């Protein structure tokens, strides 16, 4: 599983490290199914700037975003979302990452978008349009459309070299955005991790994130 994922996502990480992290993750999930965390059915989101591309950091919309407008609130879905939150919490506890979220490709009235299902960290936008135009400045969308992982361990250097970058939180120094694949190797979502330190996403941390990427598609809704 590890080698297949790494090949699809075009990531240079030790498959042995990923396999070891996958074993630890599976043990953690098996030991916490009786008491799952609560699902965040609604959450505060930032105001968007002109054109809807950039968030206005520090300014929140009055009305919370309601996940129930996009997914069912039945018991089956609730259990899946709770397991996704369990994975989020596990990643945070193991890595001390400053922001981490799980997104699923979703059809909405506005077209195909990435929908945030579970996360940890500061408020952020809940939906990303899955369009080539938006991908020009969004790692999330670029990864979702290309199915290839992106790891930026120094955002400042990346921008100075001419890279396009969608800034949600100006404190972010490193980002890892990785695809999620279904059983037919189609990209069905992404995970996004952000850190306030440069060079945060080393081999060990990436191995853990990739192990999660292998398990997460089983719990998408």
Asked whether the predicted pLDDT for residue 119 surpasses 90, the reply is: yes
Token digits of residue 73:
């609130």
Q: Which residue is associated with the tokens 């850190």?
A: 195
pLDDT given at position 51 = 55
pLDDT given at position 73 = 95
- The pLDDT > 90 percentage for the chain reads 78
pLDDT-wise least confident of 28-32, 128-132, 168-172: 168-172
Which phi and psi angles does 5 have, rounded to 5°?
-65, -45
Element (H, E) at 57: strand 55-60
**SS3 label, residue 45:** coil
Name the band, by pLDDT with cuts 50, 70 and 90, for residue 90.
Answer: very high
DSSP classification of residue 86:
H
**SS3 label, residue 9:** helix
Query: CA 202 to CA 200: how far, in whole Å?
Result: 6
- pLDDT, tens digit, 9 for 90 and up, residues 156-208: 888 888 676 666 677 899 999 999 999 999 999 999 999 999 999 999 999 99
Closest CA to 140 of 84, 210, 187, 71: 187
User: What distance separates the 2 farthest-apart alpha carbons in the chain?
Assistant: 49
pLDDT given at position 144 = 98
pLDDT-wise least confident of 49-53, 97-101, 124-128: 49-53
Concatenated DSSP letters of 142-209: HHHHH---EEES-HHHHHHTT-----S-TT--EEEEEEEE-TTS-EEEEEEEEESSTT---HHHHHHH
Domains and CATH numbers, the chain: 1-218 (3.30.450.40)
Burial letters 69-88, b for 16+ CB under 10 A, else e = ebbeeeeebbebbbbbbbbb
- 97/61: higher pLDDT: 97
Name the band, by pLDDT with cuts 50, 70 and 90, for residue 92.
Answer: very high
- Within its chain, how far is the Cα of 109 from the centroid? 22
pTM for this entry: 0.94
């Amino acid at each position: 599983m590890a080698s297949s994922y790494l090949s699809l996502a075009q990531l240079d990480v030790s498959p042995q490290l990923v396999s070891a992290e996958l074993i630890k993750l599976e043990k953690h999930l098996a030991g916490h199914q009786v008491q799952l965390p609560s699902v965040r059915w609604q959450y505060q989101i930032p105001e968007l700037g002109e054109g809807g591309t950039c968030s206005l950091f520090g300014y929140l919309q009055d009305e919370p975003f309601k996940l129930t407008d996009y997914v069912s609130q039945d018991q089956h879905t609730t259990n899946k979302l709770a397991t996704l939150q369990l994975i989020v919490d596990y990643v945070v506890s193991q890595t001390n990452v400053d922001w981490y979220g799980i997104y699923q490709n979703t059809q909405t009235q506005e077209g195909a978008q990435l929908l945030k299902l579970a996360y940890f960290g500061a408020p952020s936008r809940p939906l990303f349009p899955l369009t080539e135009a938006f991908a020009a400045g969004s790692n999330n969308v670029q990864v979702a459309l290309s199915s290839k992982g992106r790891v930026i361990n120094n955002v400042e250097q990346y921008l100075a070299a001419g890279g396009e970058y969608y800034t949600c939180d100006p404190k972010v120094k490193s980002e890892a955005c990785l695809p999620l694949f279904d059983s037919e190797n189609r990209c069905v979502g992404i995970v996004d991790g952000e850190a306030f330190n440069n060079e945060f996403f080393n081999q060990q941390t990436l191995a853990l994130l990739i192990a999660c990427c292998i398990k997460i598609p089983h719990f998408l809704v």
